[in-house]
Structure 1
Amino acid sequence: MVAIPIALIVAVAVVDVLAPPDIHLGPLLVAAPAITASFGGPWMTGLVATLAVVAQAVIAVIRDRDELFSANHQAQIMALILVGSSLVVFCVVRERRAREMTQVRYVAEMAQRVVLRPLPKVIGPLRVASLYLAAEAEAQIGGDLYAAVRTGSGTRLIVGDVRGKGMTAVDDAALLLGAFRAAAHRQASLTELVMFLDASVRWDVAADLAEPGETDESDETFITATVLEIPDHDSRIGMIDCGHPPPVVLRDGRAMTLDADQPAPPLGLGELVHGAHHVDTFKFEEGDLLLLYTDGVSEARDAGGTFYPLTERIAGWTDTDPETFLRRLRRDLLHHVGGRLGDDAALIAIERPRTAHA
């Protein structure tokens, strides 16, 4: 790449020397350090700028033999020095900014690993893959969440989405995930677990409102979530849907939505529940693939404003390997939205492998 501005300097100098006296191409030399700044650092840009100044001085010496460095050439040389110095300063600031952004990405990745721990590829008898797609290029974590915990007889999972954005959403997601990991293996039933999670969210809201300067926004703070229990030796799974997009089961290429008969309010709004939460049960058989996701997937729009038709797009997909499935879904989703999501998206793909029978 550095050969391009150097070749430009040589070409301009040669043509300027050979051109008629009334033609001056020296001002074109400023393009050389400008081009270098687009891909090089401050040292390389400064070197090319120096070569441009030397080339302008050589042109002045050859063309103005009687009057060394005429006012015209002096002005061109000063302009080259000024522009070259400015470009060097620009490169220094740009590299400093790049280092800061690298550090921000590193901190974001570490925060994501702490809050959203990568799910293992195998959980009990299940094969699992997870994926987090951030809407903002520099933000690797947001209010979408997922987790899985082993119990004595199966696996419990949660996928959710915190209302709002920014650090408040990250804080709420971290609190809910901590509560889920601490209680999922201790609470006797799925209903008790969801009641505990709801109480944790409400307690966090109450604690935030107790801080000086906080306003009453308790009715605006909630987390939509789907909580599932997948037994190791039973083909029926239990689910409590707390205002979250329903999971999808892919069975022999057919995509079926698991809609709750009696969905519960989002976590944090448990006072709206009259009586115990209703647990819906569905079949999850050997060879099935279960997909959990957030509304960043179902509400993703293309240029025309059309939502991503999840069940229609995955219908007919027969490869139930979780990692392969999520890679394909990611490509298809990003193609639908034109390469960039409008909201964060979290996905979990779970397969119950077929057992070999003797």
Structure 2
Amino acid sequence: MPQRREGLRRPVRAGRALLVIPIAWIVAVSVVDLVAPPDIHLGPLLVAAPAITPLFGGPWSVGLVSALAVIAQTIIGLVRDPGEMLSSNHQAQIIALVLVGASLVIFCVFRERRAKELAQVRYVRDSTGTFYPLTERITGWTENDPDAFLVRFRRDLLHHVGGHLNDDAAMIAIAGTSTPRA
């Protein structure tokens, strides 16, 4: 019986269709910035396009939108400052877009890797073919220490499969804080 990994990947069509939103934002900001008076700079608003793309896209989509935002900012800089190659202001904005875009691509890569790992845990079956109910089992756990969580999780997983995993397993738990930052 083939394993289905629902929820691991978003529907491709929906994600691609939603790419219209950040691309339209880039076009709109660029056009308005180019026709706006010289003392009004809207280029920094381009960062919103790559910032919203991880909501519905993966690393490739985020990379594409980030590259388009960088290209748009470069065009804005070249058109706005025809006398010089790029002003230091536009250079700083381009560098910021590159850094934000690269950070978001890295975030998406780790997010997808994590989703794949969780999908593999979700599909651990016991001898009757019942899948391990990951969400239901760990929802009420209150371990604050990652090591204690992993010990309990491993024990629970082994109990579910009858004491022996038929494949390799790697587990990582990271402690977070719930204290809001000032």
Q: TM-score w.r.t. structure 1 length?
A: 0.34
Query: Alpha-carbon deviation of 1:171?
Result: 3.4
Match for residue 100 of structure 1 among 114, 117, 135: 117
Amino acid at match of 2:117: E
Helix, strand or coil for the counterpart of 1:40? coil
| Residue equivalent to 1:137 | 135
- The answer for the alignment partner of 2:54 in structure 1 is 37
- Residue 237 of structure 1 is matched in structure 2 by none
Match of 2:32?
15
Aligned counterparts of 2:129 and 2:20: Cα–Cα separation in 1: 47
1:76 aligns with 2:90: no
Structure with greater strand share of residues: 1
CA contact (8 A) 1:105 1:139 kept: no
Q: 74, 79, 83: which one pairs with 1:66?
A: 83
Distance 2:22 2:162 in 1: 51
Give the deviation of 1:33 after TM superposition: 0.8
TM-superposed CA distance for 1:170, in Å, is 6.6
Q: 2 CA distance for matches of 1:52 and 1:169?
A: 45
| % same residue | 58
Q: In 2, are the aligned partners of 1:105 and 1:138 still within 8 Å (CA)?
A: no
Partner Cα separation in structure 2 for residue 169 and residue 50 of structure 1: 43
> Is the aligned partner of 1:24 residue 2:41?
yes
Give me the CA root mean square deviation: 2.8
Distance 1:138 1:27, change over 3 A: farther
> Separation in 2 of the partners of 1:6 and 1:169?
44
Query: For this pair of structures, how many residues does the alignment match?
Result: 132
1:14, 1:95 → 2: CA distance? Answer: 34
Taking a change above 3 Å as real, the CA distance of residues 102 and 21 of structure 1, as seen in their structure-2 partners, is: same
Which consecutive aligned stretches of 4+ in structure 1 deviate over 4 angstroms post-superposition?
172-175
Q: Are the aligned partners of 1:26 and 1:76 in contact in 2 as well (CA < 8 Å)? A: yes
- CA displacement, residues 161-207 of structure 1 (integer Å, 9 cap, x when unaligned): xxxx86269739959xxxxxxxxxxxxxxxxxxxxxxxxxxxxxxxx
TM-score relative to the length of structure 2: 0.64
Matches within 5 A, 1:160-175: 167=155, 171=159
Q: Which runs of 5+ in 2 are unaligned?
A: 1-17, 139-151, 164-182
Is structure 2 residue 87 aligned with structure 1 residue 89?
no
Q: Secondary structure at the match of 1:137?
A: helix
Rg (Cα) greater in structure: 1
Task: Give the number of the structure with larger relative contact order, counting CA–CA contacts within 8 Å between residues 6 or more apart.
Answer: 2
What are the ranges of 5 or more consecutive residues in structure 1 without an aligned counterpart?
Answer: 119-131, 141-164, 176-358
The structure with more helix, counted as a fraction of residues: 2
In structure 2, distance between residues paired with 1:173 and 1:104: 12
Which residue of the partner structure matches residue 3 of structure 1?
20
